[in-house]
Amino acid sequence: MEKKLYERPIIRPLNTGLMNKYGNRTEYMPVTHIEGASVKEMLKKYGSPLFVFSERQIRENIRSAKRAFETRYPKVQFAWSYKTNYLNGICSIFHQEGSWAEVVSRMEYDKALHNGVSGDKILFNGPDKTDADLREAIKNNSPIHIDHLDELYRLTEIATELNVKPRVAIRVNMDVGVYPMWDRFGFNYESGQAWDAINKIMATGKLNLIGLHTHIGTYMLSPNAYGVAGYKMADLAIGIQQKFNTTIQYIDMGGGFASKNTLKGSYLKGTDIVPEVAEYAEAICTSLLNAGFRNNDLPTLFLETGRALIDDAGFLLGTVIANKRLSDGRKATILDIGVNILFTSFWYDHKISPAQEFGSHTEDTVLYGPLCMNIDVVRENVTLPPMNAGDNIVIHHVGAYDITQSMQFISLRPAVVIVDKMANPHLLKRSETLEDMQRNELVPEHLKHNKN
């Protein structure tokens, strides 16, 4: 056994939140294992960098979110937001836990079918549904969430031609006191657009209006905004009941609950200021229960929560390539993780942990990625102990959007694994190969001969 170096014991101050004379609180305790699986062994086996998911954390997140709503409201249904993370293995966990699918494109729609979700449990959102997409959704009895009048007219035409009554909801946007307002999707509440769409649907009688949908924004820090949205949605549903004697089956409150990541420029850490799912649940359920529905007419509450259920279950493991001093004396560390696979580094100051033991010295460090691009900065300034080339790091809270928005650029994209409850890693996606990347490339005949 290798003899360990003696190191003088130190007392590490534990600060809560605010800066004190020792600097920021220690966010750099070593992380050597994820759910019991060794970081270094996984990197050896699957290559660096590597995305790692915790199955336990995902299941815990969806179960506790369901509990938060189901203890406050009688009829609740979650639908997994595919664009937040549509790796089939990840979606499958949510479907095993009872979530439907929420999709915003034909590609995602087909992925949900491929994952075994029955058509009537796929909520079809988004502004871009072609006639062919609408026909497919009608065939499968999927709830279609209408985004704009042009879609409403096309859908009405197709329904007339097929002589069927598709199940639809309208997407509603509204002023919830958070600006800029998300008014580009759906029909506006305050201006009367939403009522205009409802009146048109009811007047033609060609579509079966079963729901109302909204998605007020993303990384919303205010539960109260959802309370306001809940009242406005309920007001529409009750209005429809009174005017047309039609009961709206569901109100879909979308997603957008903040995850525990820290927004850039935020003085306090996300883990300290982001509301719990229960606080969003309280705001939404209270608004619906207080809205004045007759007891039997309470609509089912749909939720399309994405990032809050997956962000903290994802980790990105990587390796230090080199260290250098910048001309102003700052320390710089180059990682093999670039912003092309960590898109959210444009908005978040991710928590970063060394994956091995280290001494007591720390230094403000800028973390660069490996791309030959000036924008390739993972953290502009983070307090870290010195690390050597070949040392490993763990980036936290990368489960939402980093995989779906990752960009094939300069190098090949890494593998993704999930660690099960027995601490065993399983591949969710192999690392990309040059062959994968070039699969759809063609070289015209006259370009095939080069002079070398």
Regarding 306 and contact with ligand PLP (CB under 6 A), the answer is: yes
- When the beta carbons of 61 and 353 are compared against ligand PLP, the nearer one is 61
Least Å distance, CB 289 to ligand PLP, is 23
Least Å distance, CB 415 to ligand PLP, is 24
- When the beta carbons of 104 and 152 are compared against ligand PLP, the nearer one is 104
Piece in contact with ligand PLP (CB under 6 A), picked from 187-195, 300-308, 313-321, 405-413 = 300-308
How many residues form the binding site for ligand PLP (CB under 6 A)?
A: 17
Residue least distant from ligand PLP (Cβ): 306
- When the beta carbons of 254 and 270 are compared against ligand PLP, the nearer one is 254
Write each residue from 348 to 387 as x if it is in contact with ligand PLP (CB under 6 A), else as -, in one continuous string: ----------------------------------------
Interacting residue with ligand PLP among 49, 119, 223, 256 (CB under 6 A)? 256
- When the beta carbons of 103 and 320 are compared against ligand PLP, the nearer one is 103
- When the beta carbons of 249 and 305 are compared against ligand PLP, the nearer one is 305
The token pair at 232 is: 């406005």
Regarding 102 and contact with ligand PLP (CB under 6 A), the answer is: yes
Binding to ligand PLP (CB under 6 A): which residues in 26-85?
A: 81, 83-84
Write each residue from 391 to 430 as x if it is in contact with ligand PLP (CB under 6 A), else as -, in one continuous string: ---------x------------------------------
Piece in contact with ligand PLP (CB under 6 A), picked from 65-73, 186-194, 299-307, 350-358 = 299-307
**Chain contacts with ligand PLP (rule: CB under 6 A):** 81, 83-84, 102, 104, 125, 215, 218, 254-257, 304-307, 400
